[in-house]
A and B are shown apart, each in its own frame.
Chain A
Amino acid sequence: MDVLKDKIELILPAKAEYVSVARLAVSGIASRMGMDIETIEDIKVAVSEVCSRLVDETIGTVPDYKAVFEVCPQSLSITIFSDNKKAEHVFGDVEDELVIPIIEALMDHTELTPSNGAIITMTKAIEGIRRDGE
Chain B
Amino acid sequence: MSSEIKIIEEFSGETVSVAISGEIDIYTAPTLKEKLYALADNKKDMLIDCNDLGYIDSTGLGIFVGALKKTKLHGKSIKLVNLKDNIRKLFIITGLDKLFLID
Contact = CB atoms under 8 A, between A and B. Distances in A.
A45 B27 contact: no
Contacts of B83: none
Interface in A43-57: 44-45, 48-49, 51-52, 55-56
B57 A48 contact: yes
30 contacts: A16-B26, A16-B27, A17-B1, A19-B3, A19-B25, A19-B26, A20-B2, A20-B23, A20-B25, A20-B27, A23-B25, A38-B85, A38-B86, A41-B89, A42-B86, A42-B89, A44-B55, A45-B55, A45-B86, A49-B58, A52-B57, A52-B58, A95-B62, A96-B58, A96-B61, A96-B62, A98-B61, A98-B62, A102-B57, A105-B93
Interface of B: 1-3, 23, 25-27, 55, 57-59, 61-62, 65, 85-86, 89-90, 93-94
